[in-house]
Structure 1
Amino acid sequence: MNHATKKTNNRLTSLLYTGVLATCLTACSSSGKKGDTPADTTVTTTSATTSTSTAAPSISSETPGTTEVFKDFDWNTVPVSTAEIGAFPYLTAPSGFYIGEKDSYSESKTGYSTVSDFNKLFIFTGSSFYNAEGKVGKLKFRMKGDNVEWNQYKFDSSVEKYLTSIGAKLIGKMKLDDAKKKFLNKDDDMAIHNHMVGDPYNVPVRFYALNHAKGKVMFQVFSNTAEGDVGVVELAGFEQTIKAPTAAQMKKDIDATGKAILNINFDTDKSTLQPEGQKAVDEILALLKNDGSLKLAIEGHTDNAGAAAHNKMLSAARANTILKSLTSRGIATNRLTATGFGAERPLVANDSEANMARNRRVELVKK
């Protein structure tokens, strides 16, 4: 064997030995139980796990698909406050700011930009939505002086510290995602616009609850780099102001306008009359018997809650219930017709429970 051949063989032997040694070392390092990891890796993993498990949950749980529901609010979670809060809307403009009139840069003389004696605000509680109904005010804040730059930090600090000082509790913070937009606007494309302040599509809105000894109040607070808005609702139950119609009033309305507008009570989502609704039909019967020449088109109408096709079918069924009740008691069928229009012809916008109640009606139209 010459010198070159011997040198080559020695090199191959060395490489073979190195490979065998590496294989042995690899086998030895994995000879422990399945799932074992080096000590330094174990420490890192444990630390990360501990940090995740002990982190405080966010106040605004916004996991898609888990918060798209309306629920009652538990006022027991908010301590009762006896702080001095003044009159509605319970806050004023901070120094250097003013509250503007609706759609105007003029300063409001009432302390709010708009007000409604009964409406609602959408309140996000961190885990669901709450329909806060009652007296609603909306406040649009602006800076005093010409060419004064909007001070978002001062606005946020002022409002937050004031609400905290009177006992209001921050209960949620939310920017609308696609699921929440679809949920809140499912029955009315203007619902978010009507019942939330600011621009919740792009900037989170903050929600506060004040459990005051004199009453319950909720706030929406919004701000960005250009403006600030606050919505206030003084909670109150809906007070029904619609009165049962009488034959005399129906005749007066028909003579004056050609129709009488009635709010007749039916069972929820059904065409069966409630006792108060039957009393109204009794008055229609009296009207028709008092005037044997009167012919009426009975038109059913609903609010916009629910599917349009269902509402139209329901309104037609309710109109037919009235027609059948009248004809079964002696009114000739050729004096009456029954039609349902669903939510196609609202009297007013479906933007509050009071207005929706007005739209749930029957009209008696003279033919």
Structure 2
Amino acid sequence: MKKTAIVALLGILMFSCKNEKKEEQKIETDQVENTKEQTVSKDINWSEIPDLKDIGNFPFFTAPAGLKISNEKEGLSEFFDYETMQNYTGSSIYTTEGKLGILTFEGSDGKDFNQKLFDKSFYDYLDKIGAKQIYKGEFPEDEKQRAILEKNSWTGKKRTSGLLRESDSPFAVYAFKNGGKKYIVNIQSNSAQGNIFIMELKDFEQTIKKYSAAQMKTDIDKTGKAILHINFDTDKASLQEDGQEIVDEIAALLNADPKLKLSIEGHTDNSGTEARNQTLSSQRANTVMYALAAKGIDIQRLKAKGFGSSKPLKTNDTEENKAENRRVELVKIQ
């Protein structure tokens, strides 16, 4: 009995040791796997990003000897006043927006592009000036993150450029500050070319202003009509909240000029049947007219007409053009 118990105990101890070794091996393997992507930091903490001095002006990069910038204009291959860019931090995607410059490099003086020269030149330069490396490595394994990064594709006047998901094309993400502004750089190369995508971060600023009574008067005095894009509920003649705000401006226009008379004319795109579009455009014109009457405007100064889709401003071949054709026009009655 004692011998049996001792053998059993030894078996348990040996099994436990084997499991501990397996766990240690698994941890070591995981650690190796986790270092493959060379993650520098998980997120971009701008308080830790260096503010660089004496590095010139946007886009901050020039071509080293042996390389040139393709289709170069003002130091860039392509430029976009406003764009978005997806930046991989090693664990997540950091979305930025602002002005984007793209520099595409090729060989100069008839020489082929030299990938090693490109990589050595620009990685050394970024390290030298003190830009912070956020990430350097291959595309992430996560398919959702890969799909987001593949949205980094921009079509300019000369070409379409973006981050490429292909073998032997690792990329890096850097960040720095300069002159009170924030910058993100994505850099990638392959055997054919090198690309630098540099973005000056800036929040989007809405510049569209409410179509005011003053602007309506200016347009009517100039062309005899004002074109309004009033928001109604889908396939209905009921006004949405911002549509009611435009009606308020029309009322202000009419109150400012008691002699002004208007024909309120509704238009649709070509979605739906001709009969339905005619009915809907008439109903929407009447909605605006009666909303103005409810604000005290003499209805004798107003007329309402519907033209359906018979008078498009643009061809109904895109959603953007259809949106332009869905409108209400205020036409001055002589």
TM bracket (short chain):
0.5 to 0.7
Change in Cα spacing, 1:150 to 1:94, as seen in structure 2 (3 Å) is: same
Q: Which residue of structure 1 lines up, in the alignment, with residue 135 of structure 2?
A: 172
Report if aligned partners of 2:173, 2:185 keep a CA contact under 8 Å in 1. yes
Report if aligned partners of 1:89, 1:112 keep a CA contact under 8 Å in 2. yes
Q: Which residue of structure 1 lines up, in the alignment, with residue 304 of structure 2?
A: 335
Matches within 5 A, 1:242-261: 242-253=208-219, 256=223, 260=227
RMSD value, Cα: 4.7
Q: Which residue of structure 2 lines up, in the alignment, with residue 84 of structure 1?
A: 54
Letter of the structure 1 residue corresponding to residue 196 of structure 2: V
Q: Which residue of structure 2 lines up, in the alignment, with residue 20 of structure 1?
A: none
Cα deviation, residue 98, structure 1: 0.9
Cα deviation digits, residues 67-120 of structure 1 (max 9, x gap): xxxx99421342x2333210110111121111111xxxxxx1410011123322
Report if aligned partners of 1:155, 1:228 keep a CA contact under 8 Å in 2. yes
Q: Which residue of structure 1 lines up, in the alignment, with residue 320 of structure 2?
A: 346
Change in Cα spacing, 1:240 to 1:45, as seen in structure 2 (3 Å) is: closer
Change in Cα spacing, 1:161 to 1:295, as seen in structure 2 (3 Å) is: same
Letter of the structure 2 residue corresponding to residue 260 of structure 1: I
Change in Cα spacing, 1:286 to 1:97, as seen in structure 2 (3 Å) is: same
| Matches of 2:104 and 2:27, distance apart in 1 | 45
Letter of the structure 1 residue corresponding to residue 152 of structure 2: I
Cα deviation digits, residues 310-342 of structure 1 (max 9, x gap): xxxxxxxxx99x948546435769727799xxx
Q: Which residue of structure 2 lines up, in the alignment, with residue 96 of structure 1?
A: 66
Q: Which residue of structure 1 lines up, in the alignment, with residue 104 of structure 2?
A: 140
Report if aligned partners of 1:59, 1:171 keep a CA contact under 8 Å in 2. no
Question: Please, which of 217, 221, 233 is the counterpart of residue 183 of structure 2?
Answer: 217
Report if aligned partners of 1:298, 1:336 keep a CA contact under 8 Å in 2. no
Letter of the structure 2 residue corresponding to residue 346 of structure 1: E
| Matches of 1:361 and 1:35, distance apart in 2 | 81
Cα deviation, residue 293, structure 1: 3.6
Q: Which residue of structure 1 lines up, in the alignment, with residue 202 of structure 2?
A: 236
TM-score, reference length from structure 1: 0.59
Cα deviation, residue 362, structure 1: 8.2
Letter of the structure 1 residue corresponding to residue 10 of structure 2: G
Q: Which residue of structure 2 lines up, in the alignment, with residue 153 of structure 1?
A: 116
Greater shift, 218-227 or 50-59, is seen at: 50-59
Cα deviation, residue 260, structure 1: 2.7
| Matches of 2:58 and 2:204, distance apart in 1 | 18
Change in Cα spacing, 1:271 to 1:131, as seen in structure 2 (3 Å) is: farther
Corresponding position: 1:227 with 2:196: no
Aligned residues: 281
Change in Cα spacing, 1:132 to 1:329, as seen in structure 2 (3 Å) is: same
Change in Cα spacing, 1:337 to 1:230, as seen in structure 2 (3 Å) is: farther
Report if aligned partners of 1:59, 1:126 keep a CA contact under 8 Å in 2. no
Report if aligned partners of 2:98, 2:200 keep a CA contact under 8 Å in 1. yes
Change in Cα spacing, 1:260 to 1:150, as seen in structure 2 (3 Å) is: same
Letter of the structure 2 residue corresponding to residue 210 of structure 1: F
Change in Cα spacing, 1:295 to 1:221, as seen in structure 2 (3 Å) is: same
Gaps of 5+ in 2: 232-238, 270-283, 309-317
Report if aligned partners of 1:137, 1:231 keep a CA contact under 8 Å in 2. yes
Corresponding position: 1:118 with 2:82: yes
Cα deviation, residue 237, structure 1: 2.8
Change in Cα spacing, 1:126 to 1:365, as seen in structure 2 (3 Å) is: farther
Report if aligned partners of 1:217, 1:234 keep a CA contact under 8 Å in 2. yes
Report if aligned partners of 2:264, 2:328 keep a CA contact under 8 Å in 1. no
Cα deviation, residue 138, structure 1: 0.8
Change in Cα spacing, 1:86 to 1:262, as seen in structure 2 (3 Å) is: farther
| Matches of 1:295 and 1:220, distance apart in 2 | 52
Q: Which residue of structure 2 lines up, in the alignment, with residue 130 of structure 1?
A: 94
Change in Cα spacing, 1:279 to 1:96, as seen in structure 2 (3 Å) is: same
| Matches of 2:303 and 2:145, distance apart in 1 | 50
Report if aligned partners of 2:186, 2:196 keep a CA contact under 8 Å in 1. yes
| Matches of 2:38 and 2:254, distance apart in 1 | 59
Gaps of 5+ in 1: 1-25, 63-70, 102-107, 186-190, 265-269, 301-318, 348-358
| Matches of 1:263 and 1:162, distance apart in 2 | 53
Question: Please, which of 20, 28, 38 is the counterpart of residue 51 of structure 1?
Answer: 28
Q: Which residue of structure 2 lines up, in the alignment, with residue 201 of structure 1?
A: 165
Cα deviation, residue 250, structure 1: 2.5
Letter of the structure 2 residue corresponding to residue 179 of structure 1: K
| Matches of 1:207 and 1:164, distance apart in 2 | 12
